[in-house]
Structure 1
Amino acid sequence: MGFEQPTPIQEKAIPVMLEGKDLIACAQTGTGKTAAFILPILNKISKSGNNKLNTLILAPTRELAIQIDQQIQGFAYFLGISSIPIYGGGDGIVWEQQKKALETGAEIVVATPGRLIALLAGGKMDLSSLEHLILDEADRMMDMGFSDDILKIVNYLPKDRQTVLFSATMPPKIRQFSMKILRNPEEISIAIGKTAAGVTQAMYAVYDTQKEELVKYILSQKNYEAVIIFASTKDKVKALFKTLKKHFDVEAFHSDLEQVEREKIMSAFKNKAVKILVGTDIISRGIDVVGIELVINYDTPGDPEDYVHRVGRTARADMEGEAITFVNPKDAYKFQRIEELIGMEISRLSLPEGFESGPELKSSKTGSSSPSHKKSSKGKFSKNKSGNKHPKEEPKPRPKIDTPEVKTPPTSPPSTSAIPSKYGKRRNVIDD
């Protein structure tokens, strides 16, 4: 599959799992966490020769459960080891297929907590032979309120088992929860809260009324093959999709879609049949698409850790990518917290020529930032490359953040080259 060396999380986690110890593992997105727990599990099962249910993997969303199952199929292709994804959102036919698959048997079950509890309550699963419990994206499951469901599931499991918790962040609630289900766990933490080295990060200080035109401008500057745009609500996703579809090849991804529609859209995006995806944080985790060139945060994420997950959709497997965040005055504090979490100052960009001036936002640190577009000229409006004219507005007094303006020296644009890596030869990416 093109893997030549383990990533740091794989190098540290795999030996611990092979020793049978409980484990809490934390690493940034895009670093190969999924392979870090799948490979040692497959190794154990293949050596045991036992074809009973061996491993239960819990995931927060159906998309992640499906993806993990697909990765297991890829790794176990020549091993004769089978897996079953168990998730909600389908029709009665899917429900019957899942129950029948469980009766047929599989060594690994990948499930979302809610659907699994329904099966357990109906007496459709025998977990007496289980040896491993894996919690993937544990922080996301806590955020979604699955802690009680997980504890219910644990009560069905044998006490003598190996429990492993993987997460991209490690807030106190995760550590407290882990103590309830893990026994003297080993701990591995790699670059918590950091973004990948290959991501060029930048921000625009904007008013909400400028966001749509700025998105269209950015998308028109290059023929992007894969772009994800994150908005804060599904209503914003729908509105932005309605605007962008007039000019670009775009699809919307949100919780109102049926499971079949979501799978169809994601498949088209992975195959580059759709180049731009507009969605909520439902696609910030568990979506492994190679070659995403650009991530746009249409709205500043409220949780700094969500920023890490969103940005983590690009520059995966040591590739390069861009991440641009729109920050309005009311989100200035959120943006400051993001910079504090990732431990760096994100480059401030001046609005392109033809745009009215944006708000003045302060920097969380001292230091320079590099503009990559010319400063705006008040009263002037121009057409972008796609021929869309920016709407002319009468200049109005704008509220200002009660902090000094960040001064940006007229230097050249920031470099987009990634830091050289010993993992650069990998052709595939296996991640959460």
Structure 2
Amino acid sequence: MDFRELTLDDKLIEGLDAIGFENATPIQEFAIPKIIANKDLIACAQTGTGKTAAFLLPVLHKIVQLPENERHLNTLIIAPTRELAIQIDQQVEGLSYFTGVSSIPVYGGGDGETFVTQKRALEAGADIVIATPGRLISLLNSNKTDFSKLQHLILDEADRMLDMGFLGDILRIISYLPEKRQTLLFSATMPPEIRQLARKILSEPDQINIAISKPAEGIDQQAYVLYDQQKLPLLTSLLKDSNYKSIIVFASSRESVKEIEKELRKIGLEAKGFHSDLEQTAREDLMNQFKANKVRVLIGTDIISRGIDVTGIDLVINYDCPGDPEDYVHRIGRTARAGTAGTAITLINPRDQRKFFRIESLIGTDIPKKEVPSELGETPEYSPQKKTTAGKKPFRKGGKKPFRKKGSPRNKKGPKPKSKPE
């Protein structure tokens, strides 16, 4: 179905047109009309089906229709992990590019300054708040958050949140919210506990069941298990292979994108970073250069995994393992398009092994682990079901310093670059 048939706001259609995205996925086709019609919804949707855009597009549509004075803390999205909260926020950035809708990710793990920043943003009242349960509970204890105008509550990956023991936190958060609201529950599975939760917090919900999408057959999927300080040397070695003419490297944050670009250019490799600090005209020019094969290596975050429609990409490298299998499917889907073949390589450090194991489990594929060149030193064992640490490895004599991403949270003040919906 064409997005124009879903009666979305013209500003959202304008953004979708700008990135050349026309057709909705099945869950978007079924969910968007129900959400616009203010129905509560239970959606059983595996990762890789386009579920995030399925709830963001109609919510953004409804927010844009509201008078400015009715938009204070309009939507609360609860996600199980920091990584997923950040990914959803990046989706809001892209989809809301022409709308002026604001959002803030709220999650733990930062320093005191991060907590204060999130607290102030929550009190100021962004249109959309994407939060992990634990950090949101901490912020709600300040009693300065006004949810009186909240219209939408969205629980993403509800089964995972219950597995992680967040049921009590979720119910406590809901006690702060107005009873008159629209509630959307998205879950990969529907165990009895999810049904019980749905009966407590939803009102006469509609239901949707969508199967998982999997990577294209033509993608040669590979992985390397290694330490952080081995990533950059291995990346450099992979990029020197002249058989790859068009390459995308995915990193976890714009800070990582900038640092990878700087390090690659230092050693003479042609590479350019695509990130939100670039002006819109610069981003468009860079994308046009990449499409015209004038830029061989493009480095970016998940924003470009949904915002690029280019055939002929030979290689996709996940420098940082995506936290959500859905993002993995979208990232590697940039290659092997229109019936072509392509290669997708993921670099897995010790702390990301469980993430990668979830990816393998959900796509039903045991991805081959390639041997790291011996000159890079010893590598960790791939044992994702064991508890792992960051596994810091001593410097090799005469070697480079470890390359680490900074991963600092954004302090958003307005619309960010557009991105392609899932």
Q: Shorter-chain TM-score: what band?
A: 0.5 to 0.7
Structure 1 residue aligned with 2:200 = 180
Over 3 Å counting, the alpha-carbon distance change for 1:157 and 1:97 in structure 2 is: same
Q: For 1:7-45, what per-residue CA distance to the aligned partner results, in whole angstroms no more than 9, with x for missing partners?
A: 221111100101111112233433332221111112112
Over 3 Å counting, the alpha-carbon distance change for 1:90 and 1:138 in structure 2 is: same
2:27 and 2:49 in contact (8 A); partners too: yes
Structure 2 residue aligned with 1:378 = none
The reply to whether residue 105 of structure 1 matches residue 130 of structure 2 is no
1:163-178 to 2 correspondences below 5 Å: 163-167=183-187, 169-172=188-191, 173-178=193-198
Q: Structure 2: any 5+ residue segments left out of the alignment?
A: 1-17, 238-250, 265-270, 272-300, 309-314, 347-357, 379-417
2:153 and 2:181 in contact (8 A); partners too: yes
Structure 2 residue aligned with 1:21 = 39
Q: Find the aligned partners of 1:92 and 1:161 in 2 and give their Cα distance.
A: 32
1:147-296 to 2 correspondences below 5 Å: 147-167=167-187, 169-172=188-191, 173-192=193-212, 194-198=213-217, 200=219, 240-242=227-229, 247-249=234-236, 263=253, 266-268=256-258, 290=305, 293=316
Please state how far the C-alpha of 1:60 moved relative to its aligned partner: 2.0
Please state how far the C-alpha of 1:4 moved relative to its aligned partner: 1.4
Structure 2 residue aligned with 1:34 = 52
1:294 and 1:321 in contact (8 A); partners too: no
Over 3 Å counting, the alpha-carbon distance change for 1:338 and 1:67 in structure 2 is: closer
Structure 1 residue aligned with 2:6 = none
2:80 and 2:161 in contact (8 A); partners too: yes
Structure 2 residue aligned with 1:53 = 73
Over 3 Å counting, the alpha-carbon distance change for 1:271 and 1:243 in structure 2 is: closer
Q: Structure 1: any 5+ residue segments left out of the alignment?
A: 204-214, 216-228, 232-236, 251-260, 276-285, 299-305, 326-336, 356-383, 392-426
The reply to whether residue 430 of structure 1 matches residue 421 of structure 2 is yes
Please state how far the C-alpha of 1:195 moved relative to its aligned partner: 1.9
Over 3 Å counting, the alpha-carbon distance change for 1:247 and 1:197 in structure 2 is: closer
Report 1 or 2 for greater relative contact order, CA contacts < 8 Å, sequence distance ≥ 6: 2
1:80-99 to 2 correspondences below 5 Å: 80-99=100-119
Over 3 Å counting, the alpha-carbon distance change for 1:346 and 1:80 in structure 2 is: closer
Q: Find the aligned partners of 1:273 and 1:176 in 2 and give their Cα distance.
A: 52
Structure 1 residue aligned with 2:332 = 314
Q: Find the aligned partners of 1:339 and 1:73 in 2 and give their Cα distance.
A: 28
Structure 2 residue aligned with 1:44 = 62
2:90 and 2:303 in contact (8 A); partners too: no
Question: How high is the TM-score relative to the length of structure 2?
Answer: 0.55
3-state SS, counterpart of residue 48 of structure 2: coil
Over 3 Å counting, the alpha-carbon distance change for 1:81 and 1:200 in structure 2 is: closer
Structure 2 residue aligned with 1:76 = 96
Task: Tell me whether 175-184 or 38-47 shows the greater mean CA deviation.
Answer: 175-184
Over 3 Å counting, the alpha-carbon distance change for 1:347 and 1:246 in structure 2 is: closer
Please state how far the C-alpha of 1:70 moved relative to its aligned partner: 3.2
3-state SS, counterpart of residue 31 of structure 1: coil
3-state SS, counterpart of residue 20 of structure 1: coil
Over 3 Å counting, the alpha-carbon distance change for 1:347 and 1:126 in structure 2 is: closer
1:319-398 to 2 correspondences below 5 Å: 319=337
Please state how far the C-alpha of 1:307 moved relative to its aligned partner: 7.3
Q: Find the aligned partners of 1:390 and 1:99 in 2 and give their Cα distance.
A: 44
1:123 to 143, 156, 159: 143
Q: Find the aligned partners of 1:324 and 1:127 in 2 and give their Cα distance.
A: 44
Q: Find the aligned partners of 2:367 and 2:231 in 1 and give their Cα distance.
A: 26
- The amino acid that maps onto 1:58 is I
Over 3 Å counting, the alpha-carbon distance change for 1:287 and 1:273 in structure 2 is: farther
Q: For 1:211-248, what per-residue CA distance to the aligned partner results, in whole angstroms no more than 9, with x for missing partners?
A: xxxx6xxxxxxxxxxxxx5x6xxxxx6xx445565544
Over 3 Å counting, the alpha-carbon distance change for 1:171 and 1:25 in structure 2 is: closer
Please state how far the C-alpha of 1:199 moved relative to its aligned partner: 6.1
> Percent same amino acid at aligned positions?
49
Structure 2 residue aligned with 1:12 = 30
Question: How high is the TM-score relative to the length of structure 1?
Answer: 0.54
1:60 and 1:140 in contact (8 A); partners too: yes
Q: Find the aligned partners of 2:118 and 2:203 in 1 and give their Cα distance.
A: 31
Structure 1 residue aligned with 2:153 = 133
Over 3 Å counting, the alpha-carbon distance change for 1:51 and 1:387 in structure 2 is: closer
1:199 and 1:323 in contact (8 A); partners too: no
Over 3 Å counting, the alpha-carbon distance change for 1:91 and 1:158 in structure 2 is: same
Q: For 1:359-379, what per-residue CA distance to the aligned partner results, in whole angstroms no more than 9, with x for missing partners?
A: xxxxxxxxxxxxxxxxxxxxx
3-state SS, counterpart of residue 293 of structure 1: strand
2:27 and 2:210 in contact (8 A); partners too: yes
Number of aligned pairs? 293
